[in-house]
Each structure stands twice: as structure tokens, then as C-alpha cells.
Structure 1
Amino acid sequence: MGDVNFKILADLSISERAALMQRSETDMSMFLEKVPAILEAVRTEGDAALVRFGTELDGAVGLTADTLQVTEAEFDEAFTLVDPEVIAAIKTGIANIRSFHEEQLPEPMTLKEIRPGAFAGDRFLPIESVALYVPRGKGSFPSVTMMTGVPAVVAGVPNVAIFTPPTKEGKVDAATLVAARLAGVKTVYKAGGAQAVAAATFGTDTVRPCHKIVGPGSPWVVAAKRLLAGQIDPGLPAGPSESIIFADDTVHGGLAALDLLIEAEHGPDSSAWLVTSSRRVAEQALAALPDHWANMTEQRVAFSKAVLCGKSGGILLTETLEEAYAFINDYAPEHLQLLSEKPFEHLGMITAAAEILMGPHTPVSIGNFCLGPNAVLPTSRGARTYGPLSVTDFIRRSSVGYVTAKAYPELAHAARTLAEYEGFSSHANAVGEARQTYLKG
């Protein structure tokens, strides 16, 4: 494996700079070619395909159609398998996440008097059924269960189901089950990857089809969501993790290196950059990385080195703060840390980031697990148009209008005028003399 990337932004060509923007989701051609066969198998074979893929792709032993859905006994057993301290941490995270998301819950209906006697507003109802995707390939993620399950329950979704890959033993990670029950989610299926997206879309004898699926996943999951977007709402684009650690001259580069590794350790398909205009910080970070790696597991070292020494990560030195801001906004990261003793001085310059964590005491770790804001975030520059997962992602909105007899004449005249201009005779008739005849009748 090569050295950690250390790049000077001003020295890069236009094409080299464009290459820095690439994510693992940028070229999905291979996945888009292979996923359709998986989707079709689930559509036509149902549970049998889920069992086959769980056995072949996840290596699950003993998985059958009868064991695809987690039982109450498995939920109960999970609480005996998870350390009480871990359960306590899950409870802390869920309490904070619930408190944050309850503030997002809109009133069931709002009406405003637009003109005297004319009212317009919004009515909010929960989506009928939503699938929550919880990945497991490079680790177990009860945190994703918390981040997806809590807002779904707060929103009042009547049918919520978690889809997560089975373990080698044909089970579900115990802490994930603990988090699901504590969040209020009762249905969990042992299915992951593209096959899970297909099951959520088409349904099987065991799986109830859903209207929407949310949650981060591998390129296989991303590809399946894209291909099935016409049949299920794929939610915000949440793929492999990515981060930018912005560090100014007020912090030590070793701290920046410590935080750079947070998202880099997720997997070789992650993206992670340290962006700074301070050469001192950049050089300190580079020097500190070996010490930080010495305190990580072998697997996570391998993952983070693949990122920082590969195409999607490293240290980027800019000539000015303004150049750093411009790069960050162009990159539109999933996670952004403003590592500074005075982070609010930089905040106003950031216009495209899904999550902004400020100051030396707010690493991505805290945001990912227990601060409260949602850590399911748009990736691959999705922050240019999407925000974090929220209660509103689980709610559908209807417009409501009510016009009284007093307000009708003025609005009818305006509507008729525009209808005639656009050539819609029935539109015009509906607010013309014919209506008056029926209203007087």
C-alpha cells in the first residue's frame, strides 16, 4: 500500500481536482449490470431467493423461509447477549434522537387565511409503510437502527420494518435488535443488499411490501434503489460514508488526524479528506497517523489506509481559507467537521454540507451515535439538494384549500381570466355562469 495522499490544491490540474470529487457511487455501471438479476429473482421467487442470497452472499447458516423474520424470542434473547453498558449507551442515544426529532413533528393541519374568506394550508399524515435499511457488511450498526427507527416511530408510521443482512449464524446482530425494540420497531427481516430492496419493493410471503425505503447502504443497495425508484420511494441518496475534516491554525494536526480516521475506517469504499490552509496542521496530521493506527484494529487500519492512500482520501493543503471553503462547498460532504477553537467564524462560509459539527469537542463519533441530529445523510454530493433524514421523510403532505362564498367572486374571476388565456374552456366554465346557476339553485 502506498503513502498517505498529501496534495496541494493549487498545484492540481482541472482534471485532477475533478478526480477528488469522485466517490465510490460515481461509477455504478458494474453494479447496475449485476443487480437486475437479483431483483428479478426476488420478484419471482420471493422468500426462496432471500434464503438463497442470504446463504450464498452473507454466508448465513440455517437460514430458512420460516426464520427470515425475527421472532419475539430472538428480541428477548438479544437483551441477555448485549452488555448492560452498551444498552445504556443505546438508551442515551435514543433519548437524544427522540427529543431532537420530536421538535420536527409538524401540526397535523395548518390553515392560513390567504384573503378574506379564502383559506389554504397543509395536512400531514404518516406514510403507511416504510422500510429501514440497516447495513452490516463491515460492522454492526445499532446506531443506524436508532437513527432510522426513532423518527419513523415519532412520525407515526403504522408499518415500520427493518431489513438487515443475517450473520453467519443466521441471526441478527443483538445490539441492533435491542436498539430496534427500544426505538419502538417490532418487525425485523434478515435480508440485506439489493435483495432487501427488492423484497421491500415487491413483497414476499414473509415480507410486507413498503412504500419507501431509507437508510445507508453499499453500492449494491444504491444500485437497487436507483433501478426500483419508479416502484418504491428510495429516499435520500445514502451510500458509503464520507467526510471532510476542516482544520484551521487554532488546533493541533494530531487531533485532525484522529478525526480524519473516523469515517475512513468504515471501509475501502469510503471517502475522507483533511482540508486545511495550515501547513503545520497538515504536517502534524501526517506525522500523527501512525500512532493513531497503532491503537486501531487490524481490519480498521486496512480500511482507512485503503481510503487515505487510495483515490478517495488524504490530506489537502490549500493556500487560503477561502480556497478551503470553496473546495468544501464544491465537494458537498456528508459529514463536515469544523475543527477550530472558533468554529462559528467559519460556519457562515459553508453552503453545502449535510452535517456540520463544530469545535474540538464535537467529533463525528458523537454525531453518529448520540448527539440527536440524524446521522443518515446524503452522500455523493447529495447535500447540494438533500438534507439529513428527518421526521418529514416519514410524512406525506397534502395541500388543503377552502373558499367561502364571500371570497369566491374575486378568486373565480382571476381563475376564469387565466383559464381563458391558457385555452382551458372547462376550467373557465367551472368558475363561470354555469356554476353560479347551480350555487343559486
Structure 2
Amino acid sequence: MTHNINTWKLDELTIAKRQQLLARTESDLSDYLAKVRPIVDQVREHGDQALIEFTAKFDDVTLQLNQLKVTDNEFKVAEESIDTATLEAIRFAADNIRRYHESQKPGEMTMQEVRKGSFVGERFLPIPSVACYVPRGKGSFPSVLLMNTIPALVAGVKNTIVITPPGIDGSVDAATLVAAKEIGITNVYKCGGAQGVAAVAYGTETIPKCSKIVGPGSPWMVTAKKLLSNIIDPGIPAGPSESIVFADDSINGGLAALDLLIEAEHGPDSSAYLVTTSKKVVEEALASFPDHWGRMGELRTSYASTVLCGDMGGIILAPDTKSAFDFINDYAPEHLQILSSDPWQYLNLIENAGEVLLGKHSPSTLGNYVLGCNAVLPTSGAATTVSPLGVMDFMKFMSVAYVTESGYPEMAKHAEKLAIYEGFEAHSNAVSDIRSHYLK
């Protein structure tokens, strides 16, 4: 089958075309708002029964009320069905993810003396509860479960649950259940999409109300998180997969094409670009695609070709390195891979990216599964201001301050002056001679 991969010259793009290339499938969710709102309302009003009805409607699965929560027997069946190599890979990934995130965890408390006798600092605490969303529609993702839940466990969240859509037979993916059990999570619920978000936002008879929800999902799920952001913390924006692969002249374009397909195969709503300053890379990449397609199945080939031949993917030839990285920073990709014999030379040019994978031996596959850095990353340009999922997403801190008797006079003098200037009389009185009278 012939696939006509999009190719553009960056310096010949119109402003409108450049903006189109920077867009994502979830940039405009207006078409989903009207559809998602009644789903959310139904779950709020009817709880479990609404979940059962929407699971039948959207997932084509008939569940009974007592089947919403995964049972001990379902965990057992899942464990018995997993081969040893897959179990070892899950354990390997979990260990690396835990090690990385343990290095992020702050101490219980910090204090510093800002002036003699005056101390300020922070006390760190885990948030009370979180729902980790594991998508199912375009595959099974035990890796997403590990990435979502391990930093929450490291942070010390007491109530960590998982929600995930059931498969066509009503079961949860076996490897996902095994991954959950391996790290100590047994509260897994069969619900997804907008209805799943509503369930953990409001709580149902079976599913507990949570303080926060994290994890990637469809535009339906993303829209529900936006609608319910005043009810539940929606976490970082994590929508359909997106990536940019940058390759310079030192790289064979076939390798660049190989890695370009990693995120493109996630689904037809993904976004993936190869950005290069080399015509050689472009020609070699285009020539290599038939071989790459030939080693992929029909479904993933369909997804990847839809992306690379559609509105959200392809190859961009930049006139120079600066132009290439100006585009990359404007795009602020979820995943950015730098292919070069000397990838470190480009690191300081990168301002906006969810993650940066440097060199020929660091494909996104490793980051997605086993390196340990979190693969739940900001999408839709949010990497301009938002960081990858990490331990601090599951923690909060409160400011702590203590002023000694010797430190108080200097602090009070300046605070009183500012309070008087701003017209706050109770503020100024509290640090005036009135307080001195009581302190005596």
C-alpha cells in the first residue's frame, strides 16, 4: 500500500499553515462539550446505574452492578495468564520508575532563617486520594498504570485507585491488573471515558470520590476533566500522543522514520513530526517507510499513516537549526527525541518539551516503558508551562513560619509601615505598640 507522507519546507509555510501544523486534535473541544455534559449529569444523579448504562453504550459491554469493581478472583486469573517474561518486564519497569520518583520526593519539612530570629519553610504532605486513569480503547497499557500510580505511592497518597474501561468481554487487561497487584493496588474499577471522570469526581455507590485524577485519555475524557475542574483536580493535560523527532545530517533518515512511528501508531488522533535541516534525512526517511510499514500490523499501520499523511503529522525540512528549534519550541511537544551523533549540542536550544530523549540509543519506547522518567507528559502545547507527572503532583506543602522574640521587632517595624500604607488598620495594630503592651 502506498502512503503519501506529508512533507513541508518550513521557510515556505504561510502563517496560517504553520498554525495548522502547531494544532492538536484536542485543541478545540467545543464539539464534545454538549455531548459530555449530559453524561456527567447522569453520573452525578444516578451513580452506578449510569455507569452501567454508559458502559453498555460506549464500550459495548454489559456489566452488573457488582462487577464494577475488579474482584480478587479476577486478579488471580490475570496473574495466571501472564507469561514470565512479561511479569519480569513489569517488575523491571516498576523498579526503575520507583527509583526515579523516590529521588523527587522532598523531605518532610524545610526551614531557613531569613533574618536573625525569623524562620520560614514548608511542610510537605501527600494529597488524600487520587484516581489514576488507564485508557483501553486503542490498546492495553500496564505501563500507564505504573507511570500514574507509582509516584502517588511514593508520595504517600493513602487512597490510590485505578479506573479503566473494560474490554469487550467485560474484563480488565490482565497485565494491567498484574501491574497493579505488583505495586500494591487492589482498588481497580471498570469505567472509562467521561463517565469515569464523573464517577471519581462525585463518587458513586461503588466508586469513591477522589481529590484528583491523573492519566491520559480521549477527548471525551479530557473534556470531562475540564468540565469538572471545579470539583476534582484534573491533573496535567494529558491527551492523545504527540512527538517531534529532530534529526541532523549525521543520522540515517531511516532511523528517524523508525522512531517517528513510535508515537504515531498510538492512534489516528496522535500528532508526529520529523523535523530536520537535512534533505538527505528527508529522502532516506521517505524511502524507508515501506519497509517499516511492512513490519507493522494493519491496525498500527493504519493509525500511523493516518497521522503522517493527515493534518497532524509528516516531515518538516527547516532551512537552519535555529528555525527548526523555533518551530519545536512553539510546538512544545509531549515527546522530543534528538537524533544526532552529538545530541547534547542541541539541549540548550530546547525550551519547551515534556521530555527530551537524547541520542540514537534513547528512543521513546524506552521512555514510555522502562527508563523510569514519567511518560505521562503535558500535551497540546502545555509543556510551555507544565511539567511531567511526578511525585509533587501528589503532594502539597504548607508554609510554616516562626518568629522569635529577638527577631520580632525588625519584622514588625517594616510590616507595620506597609500595612499603614495599604490602609489595613487591624494589620498595623497587630504589630504596633498595642501588641507590645500585651506581650509585656
User: Is TM > 0.5 for Structure 1 vs Structure 2?
Assistant: yes
1:41-56 paired onto structure 2 within 5 Å: 41-56=42-57
Q: Indicate the residue corresponding to 1:397 in structure 2.
A: 397
Q: Indicate the residue corresponding to 1:6 in structure 2.
A: 7
Residue ranges of structure 1 left out of the alignment (5+ in a row):
none
Local SS of the residue matching 1:184? coil
Partners of 1:269 and 1:37 in 2: how far apart?
Answer: 24
Local SS of the residue matching 2:283? helix
1:261-340 paired onto structure 2 within 5 Å: 261-340=261-340
1:29 deviates by: 0.8
8 Å contact 1:153–1:185 — kept in the other structure?
Answer: no
8 Å contact 1:333–1:380 — kept in the other structure?
Answer: yes
Partners of 2:390 and 2:65 in 1: how far apart?
Answer: 33
Partners of 2:108 and 2:65 in 1: how far apart?
Answer: 40
Residue ranges of structure 2 left out of the alignment (5+ in a row):
none
1:61-76 paired onto structure 2 within 5 Å: 61=62, 63-76=63-76
Partners of 2:182 and 2:149 in 1: how far apart?
Answer: 9
8 Å contact 1:70–1:189 — kept in the other structure?
Answer: yes
**Matched residue type, 2:125:** L
1:434 deviates by: 2.3
Partners of 2:216 and 2:389 in 1: how far apart?
Answer: 10
Q: Indicate the residue corresponding to 1:100 in structure 2.
A: 100
1:105-120 paired onto structure 2 within 5 Å: 105-120=105-120
8 Å contact 1:275–1:318 — kept in the other structure?
Answer: yes
Partners of 1:319 and 1:195 in 2: how far apart?
Answer: 47
1:8-407 paired onto structure 2 within 5 Å: 8-61=9-62, 63-407=63-407
Partners of 1:435 and 1:34 in 2: how far apart?
Answer: 59
**Matched residue type, 2:423:** G
Partners of 1:251 and 1:76 in 2: how far apart?
Answer: 47
Local SS of the residue matching 2:349? coil
> Percentage identity across aligned positions?
55
8 Å contact 1:105–1:155 — kept in the other structure?
Answer: yes
Partners of 1:305 and 1:262 in 2: how far apart?
Answer: 12
Partners of 2:269 and 2:183 in 1: how far apart?
Answer: 29
Local SS of the residue matching 1:132? strand
CA offsets, 1:54-75, max 9 Å, x none? 11111113x1111101112211
**Matched residue type, 1:39:** V
Q: Calculate the aligned-residue CA RMSD, in Å.
A: 0.9
CA offsets, 1:167-189, max 9 Å, x none? 11111101001111112222111
Partners of 1:438 and 1:225 in 2: how far apart?
Answer: 51
1:2 deviates by: 6.2
CA offsets, 1:36-90, max 9 Å, x none? 00000000000001111111111113x1111101112211221111111111101
CA offsets, 1:347-389, max 9 Å, x none? 1111111100010100000000000100000000010000100
**Matched residue type, 1:52:** E
**Matched residue type, 2:279:** R
Partners of 1:69 and 1:40 in 2: how far apart?
Answer: 22
CA offsets, 1:221-263, max 9 Å, x none? 1100111111111011000000000001111000000000000
Partners of 1:437 and 1:426 in 2: how far apart?
Answer: 16
**Matched residue type, 2:41:** E
Local SS of the residue matching 1:204? coil
Local SS of the residue matching 1:389? coil
Partners of 1:438 and 1:141 in 2: how far apart?
Answer: 63
Local SS of the residue matching 2:239? coil
8 Å contact 1:153–1:184 — kept in the other structure?
Answer: no
Partners of 1:359 and 1:235 in 2: how far apart?
Answer: 30
**Matched residue type, 2:19:** A
Structure 1 stretches of 4+ moved >6 Å: none
**Matched residue type, 2:128:** E
1:106 deviates by: 0.3
Local SS of the residue matching 2:122? strand
1:111 deviates by: 0.6
Partners of 1:218 and 1:364 in 2: how far apart?
Answer: 21
Partners of 1:311 and 1:293 in 2: how far apart?
Answer: 20
**Matched residue type, 1:373:** C
- How many correspondences in the alignment? 439
Q: Indicate the residue corresponding to 2:411 in structure 1.
A: 411
Partners of 2:211 and 2:431 in 1: how far apart?
Answer: 37
CA offsets, 1:177-226, max 9 Å, x none? 11111122221110000001100100001011001111111101110011
TM-score by length of 1: 0.98
Local SS of the residue matching 1:303? helix
